[in-house]
Structure 1
Amino acid sequence: MNPLPGSDGSRPAGPRRARSFLPLLRSTLVSAAATVGYYLLPFDKDLDRHTVVVLVLGLSALGVLLALQTVGIVRSPHPRLRAVEALTTAIPLFLLLFAATYFLYARQQGGQPFSEPLSRNDALYFTVTVFATVGFGDIAPVSQPARVLTTCQMVADLVLVGLVAKVLVGAVRMGVERQGSATAPKRPEP
């Protein structure tokens, strides 16, 4: 006779499966809300010192978010899942932040910094193109400031992909080791 789910001391599969979807649901909702905000917010200011400060603060806030997520990964009962949540939240926010910056800058300059004027879709497309390193096709930076901004994104992309991935993988490893040491039976001391 098969025991009932959970009768052996384990948790029932249903709630465990539901808990595993919650982090993905959270990151999906955050990404969707940020994307809706990107398209609906009235970007009525030009890219000036104020918006550059907002870009820097946004990137800093993203760094703080990732640092907090890293601590959460180490402490989480499901570190791998928590790392996926961190990445699936941070990457869209990062991309939307740069897309908004490109859109504002192109609008301020009348479309001259790029090979064509940028709509919000174009700015997001360009940002993802740079992030994915697939090269420039129909949209390319042509002014020196646009090339500097694009270069900054390329460096930030490398940091996000390289350093952040390494930190998150390390946090997952620490979380898994912490779980292993917490569940390992205590050996009596001689």
Structure 2
Amino acid sequence: MDATDPTPDGTPPAAAAAPRQERRERRGRAALVVALRCLATITVLVSAYFLLPFTRRDVDVRDLVVGLSAVTAVFALQIRSIARSAHPRLRAIEALTTTMPLFLLMYAATYFVIEETTPGSFSESLTRTDALYFTLTVFSTVGFGDIVARTEPARVLVMTQMVVNVLAVGVATRILFGAVEAAVRRQTSGTRDPG
């Protein structure tokens, strides 16, 4: 087949390639926008973690429940937006870069406040960076052992993070993939422009 021969549907090759090229360009622009929004979201969340004053003198389980509820609500909104998105895979990446940092920073802030409120809750005094480091080692299951929870409330908090980590990695990931698959199926069935 020559470059000037029409495609099987009779469209000249250049005309058939133009819509594909346009779709690739739209996807590329969408990926750039998502990457910039992800970077902005992570920057805002990390900046807020390091700049907001965490001065509460009393931390209780209600704070953790409220925080986890907020993360769950954000996640639910993200799932809804994936289902409606023209680019569900990109939207899922964006959902992860919103929800996971929020979840991890919430635990880091809680560890920081507990150590500030009850010194000695951990094997060493925690700065915000130390609390974030500890949160990430618990999340990644690395567990270097350089920082450990010493008091019962701190250990209970670490155990809740471990359980929620398993749920976040297992259940939440499955829900994300399911939302993406459903959106892609809807697009390929013709209810939305796959662009």
Q: Indicate if the aligned counterparts of 1:5 and 1:12 stay in contact, CA closer than 8 A.
A: no
TM-score w.r.t. the length of structure 2 is 0.84
Q: Indicate if the aligned counterparts of 2:71 and 2:103 stay in contact, CA closer than 8 A.
A: yes
Q: For 2:48, what is the secondary structure of its paired residue? A: helix
Whether 2:144 is the aligned partner of 1:133: answer no
Structure 2 gap ranges (5+): 5-12
Give the superposition deviation at 1:54: 3.3
- The aligned length equals 181
Q: Which residue of 2 aligns with 1:42?
A: 53
Whether 2:168 is the aligned partner of 1:160: answer yes
Whether 2:106 is the aligned partner of 1:97: answer yes
Name which of structure 1's ranges 12-21 and 80-89 shifts more when overlaid on structure 2: 12-21
Name which of structure 1's ranges 87-96 and 20-29 shifts more when overlaid on structure 2: 20-29
Q: Determine which structure has more spread, i.e. the larger CA radius of gyration.
A: 2
Provide the rounded CA distance (Å) in 2 between the counterparts of 1:174 and 1:33: 31
Q: Deviations 1:117-156 (Å, cap 9, x if unpaired)?
A: 1000100000000000011421011111111000001011
- Alpha-carbon RMSD across the aligned residues, in angstroms, is 2.2
From 13, 35, 41, the equivalent of 1:30 is 41
Structure 1 gap ranges (5+): 185-190
Distance 1:8 1:87, change over 3 A: closer
Q: Indicate if the aligned counterparts of 1:6 and 1:12 stay in contact, CA closer than 8 A.
A: no
Distance 1:47 1:31, change over 3 A: farther
Query: Where do residues 4-153 of structure 1 align in structure 2 (5 Å cutoff)?
Result: 7-8=18-19, 11=22, 13-49=24-60, 52-110=61-119, 112-153=120-161
Distance 1:9 1:151, change over 3 A: closer
Name which of structure 1's ranges 90-99 and 174-183 shifts more when overlaid on structure 2: 174-183
Aligned partner letter, 2:149: P
Q: Which residue of 2 aligns with 1:187?
A: none
Provide the rounded CA distance (Å) in 2 between the counterparts of 1:14 and 1:148: 50
Structure 1 stretches of at least 4 aligned residues deviating more than 3 Å after TM superposition: 1-10, 12-16
TM-score w.r.t. the length of structure 1 is 0.86
Whether 2:179 is the aligned partner of 1:175: answer no
Give the fraction of aligned pairs with identical amino acids, expressed as a percent: 45
Give the superposition deviation at 1:181: 0.7
Give the superposition deviation at 1:11: 2.2
Q: Indicate if the aligned counterparts of 1:69 and 1:86 stay in contact, CA closer than 8 A.
A: yes
Distance 1:9 1:154, change over 3 A: closer
